[in-house]
Structure 1
Amino acid sequence: MTSISPRTSGRNDAIDALVRNVVDTRYEDLSQGAVDATKTFILDAFGVAIVGTLAPGVPETLGLLSDWGGKEESTVLVSGERLPAPSSAMMNSFLMHNQEFDPVHDLAVVHAFTTVLPVALAVAEAHGGVTGKELLTAVALGVDVACWIGISSRSPIAHFRPGTLGAFGAVAAAGKITGMDQATLTHAMGIVYSQISGTLQPHTEGVQVNSMQTGFNARGAVTAISLAARRIQGPAEVLEGRYGYFPLFEGEYDVEDLLANLGRVWQVERIGHKPFPSGRLTHGAAEAVLTLKERHGFKAEDIKDIEALVPPMVYRLVGRPLGSGTPSLQYAKLCIPFVAAVALLRDTVFIHDFGAEGLRDPAVHELASRITAVEDLTITDQNIMVPQTLRIRLNDGTEHALTLDQLLGHPVRPLNRDQHLEKFHACWAAGASHLPEGNRDRLAELVDGLEDVPSVEEIIRLLVP
């Protein structure tokens, strides 16, 4: 529970460097790669929010937030309700995460956009007069904060990082939008740290509240910004203090890379697409079975069994068996046997595969019973997703294997522009039939030129009836 590189005498808590970078960085300081990646994944997040409206729990959650009411200052995407900024940020974050389709930083294990973007939008609307360039800059910086903290951990993931780290990134983005100085933004970081939440228990059990944890932290981030603006004070040693984030939520950590490269290396450039709407750690198995099937032409009925040899973190979080009975949507999306079986039978994995009919499909269940995840005990790093090796044994004794050293969608194996837009179009078709047809392409155009958009409201108007 200690630092690998403990603080030297006179060095402040690492949160100081992160906050200072947020306050000092201008749009012009961002690399072109950071600008391009931010725009790419803002559009991607909008797409997954659209299909997020189809997930269980959405009407109930939105109904509750609407019943609570309050100041109508920020917009719920896709449906168009106007709610207080904390409520709209919570709801939009839930929409972006509940289908397990949102962009992710593989090494940090954080869906940074899923908390950062909803908070930035909610605060921008409430604040008023925020340009596209200001939104872009704030989101890039917020993602940077969340991911730098994540990759500084050297311990196995023990809490739900999309929530806990997303909260810090969201406060950074909102603080940038509202023009906070370093002292005030540091207080906001301390205030959000006093609220952050996120446990892997809902993930392990596959229950609905798992995908709401980013929303809880989005709500907390807006609250923190609002309280700090009113001069409420928060703790200063947020990350490295005796009871700071690293000692309590992570364990061992090393911030030397963060301190050396902050403002030089932009973590948003290391964000990746999720090509399938399932837990990122299941993607290796899905991709491998699709690749081997295409190469060798076998069918599901030809398969005797499948073994997925995966790193410890993958095995621990998604190596679960399917079991008997109908799984929940969340459990199925976080289960290698289910996701791999769907890929083999459907030649892809998409939203409808996790609907009521898809979850109880006997063909999927039967094939999943022949798929097993095995922990690769030769891997000692508790925070990596690859390599993953899939072995398929056919009934005639033939065996096929494939090792993936990186997952599809990672920056070194990115989706191309056409694949990126194909995913966005598929999400729009699935969940935005009530929106004007022309809004889809106009939204993509505006996000492509986000730095020239005069008002954030121009974008939001395209995402509501």
Structure 2
Amino acid sequence: MANTSKAPPLLADEFATHALQSQISDLPAEAITQAKIFILDTLGVGLGGSSAFAADKLIKTTPKWGAGSEATLWGTGKRVPAGVAAMVNAYQVHCQEYDCVHEGAVLHPLATLLPAVLAMAERDGGVTGEELIVACAVGVNVSAGLGIASRSGLTFFRPSTAGGFGAVAALGRIMRLSHEQLVQAFGLQYCQTSGTLQPHIEGSAALPLQVGFNSRAAVQACDLAKAGFPGPRDVFEGLYGYLRLFEGPGKWNLTATRTSLAGKRWLISELSHKPYPAGRATHGGIEGIQALMNQLPKVDASSIESITITGSPVSARLCGRPDLPNPSPNYARLCMSYVGAKVLLDGHIDLAHYRGSQLSDARTHEMAKRIKLISDGQQDPNALVPVSVEMRLEGGEVREWKCEQMLASPTRRLSREQHLAKFRRCWAFSAVALSQEKQERLIGLIDQLEELHDVRELVTCLTPGAAAGVNGKL
């Protein structure tokens, strides 16, 4: 008897259907609210990143890669080709480890996605605020959907690898690609996919640059697909596909991913803020140190003998690195000992702690010797919680703290005041000073994003000059 059963659709087909057919009416109110919050958050951290380490070197190099004035570099106002804008702005978003994260996916989905979408929106026009919300939501379902499918620990740098596919999904939607064109675009993206963890280990600025590379690649993939250039189709489950090569043979499960593609789970609702400018794996330690320092009677940092932070295996692997006497900014942001020492000495961790003489401060490195991050040995290779902190004081007192969910996760969200305070702090680090008027205008535009007729209005707020909208109209 003939077998008449149909083969299941390729994941690329499912991603394309989801990206192209979803509507704003499919999104629950919470997904829309969180999309707006994290669009503003991403714009803020990208703006702050315009003055961060190596951003100037990247911007200085871009004229060698083609002329054009299609899109804007946030924080400087320079005009460049759309692909270059996507690359530079994505670097700026991720280069300070301050961008939002999907913890279960171990992924920063908007870092790769939003710069590409806004660059294309500037170039081609016709993108409304409503379309931006939906594009971000479907893109996060694709990139974070790949992350939550993984059952293996990080081998490649998922924010750039999986993040690029999320950017393609969002771009395919706003560019109105056909279903087949979007499938081909996923294939063309896969041909460019990159992202190694080696820069993470070394503390190299090449780590966020990989996010930029994949954002630019998404622009190129969608342009090529729209022109009719063919790409491979079976790019996720295929013999040499993404899941087998980047996540490991057999080490994935697409059940939860397909739930999100059916519209039953919107992963943008599950994003976490970064309340501190440091690797997310340090955040439980930061909060615990602050809590224990503030317990009564309060203690002076000099009376602390040791602090042991116990986190998940991935946390220890990513941020349990040894302190260095004069680390690069990118190394320091991912070093629990360095970050914890700043918190002990100053009561908080700030963008300014990774600049200038702060990095070589002798007191910081002396204090860092007392802090370590170790693994709890749990089996989940992607978990970031629980986190516990043990503080030993001179005289024998031991203080302890533990959390099951870190601050700013979906179950412990930042208040609007905290969210805006972070945004305004990032604003202060723009490479070129921007006005208070533009700051407030951008907040207002995002609050009413569903009503915005042209998202290029958002970009005008991220550039120096008069606070004018598209075509000079507010």
Q: TM-score with structure 2 length normalisation?
A: 0.94
Distance 1:193 1:68 in 2: 22
Q: 3-state DSSP class of the match of 2:295?
A: helix
1:103 offset after TM fit, Å?
A: 0.6
Distance 2:306 2:157 in 1: 32
Distance 1:22 1:342 in 2: 43
Distance 1:156 1:16 in 2: 26
Distance 1:374 1:412 in 2: 25
Q: Which residue does the alignment assign to 1:203?
A: 200
Is 1:304 aligned to 2:301, yes or no? no
Q: Which residue does the alignment assign to 2:221?
A: 224
Q: 3-state DSSP class of the match of 2:372?
A: strand
Contact 1:22 1:176 in 2 (8 A): yes
Deviations 1:148-182, CA, capped at 9 Å, x for gaps: 11100001111101100110000011100011121
Q: Which residue does the alignment assign to 2:472?
A: none
Q: Percent identity?
A: 39
Work out the number of aligned pairs and report it. 456
Contact 1:93 1:218 in 2 (8 A): yes
Distance 1:34 1:373 in 2: 34
1:362 offset after TM fit, Å?
A: 1.1
Distance 1:433 1:84 in 2: 20
Distance 1:411 1:261 in 2: 17
1:9 offset after TM fit, Å?
A: 6.3
Distance 1:130 1:374 in 2: 47
Q: Which residue does the alignment assign to 1:268?
A: 268
Q: Which residue does the alignment assign to 1:3?
A: none
Q: Which residue does the alignment assign to 1:5?
A: none
Contact 2:76 2:432 in 1 (8 A): no
The within-5 A match list for 1:9-408 is 10-251=7-248, 252-262=251-261, 263-296=263-296, 297-323=298-324, 325-377=325-377, 379-408=378-407
1:12 offset after TM fit, Å?
A: 2.0
1:437 offset after TM fit, Å?
A: 2.0
1:458 offset after TM fit, Å?
A: 1.2
Contact 1:14 1:259 in 2 (8 A): no
Q: 3-state DSSP class of the match of 2:41?
A: helix
Q: 3-state DSSP class of the match of 1:441?
A: helix
Distance 1:260 1:415 in 2: 27
Contact 1:154 1:253 in 2 (8 A): yes
Distance 1:383 1:77 in 2: 32
1:306 offset after TM fit, Å?
A: 0.9
1:67 offset after TM fit, Å?
A: 3.5
Deviations 1:54-92, CA, capped at 9 Å, x for gaps: 211111111111243322211111111111111000010
Contact 1:310 1:376 in 2 (8 A): yes
Q: TM-score with structure 1 length normalisation?
A: 0.96
Distance 2:367 2:455 in 1: 47
Could you list the structure 1 runs, at least 4 aligned residues long, displaced by more than 6 angstroms after superposition: none
Distance 2:311 2:22 in 1: 40
Distance 2:311 2:455 in 1: 42
Q: Which runs of 5 or more residues in structure 1 are unaligned?
A: 1-7
Contact 1:13 1:241 in 2 (8 A): no
Superposition RMSD in Å: 1.2
Distance 1:15 1:55 in 2: 36
Q: 3-state DSSP class of the match of 1:373?
A: strand
1:434 offset after TM fit, Å?
A: 2.0
Q: Which runs of 5 or more residues in structure 2 are unaligned?
A: 465-474
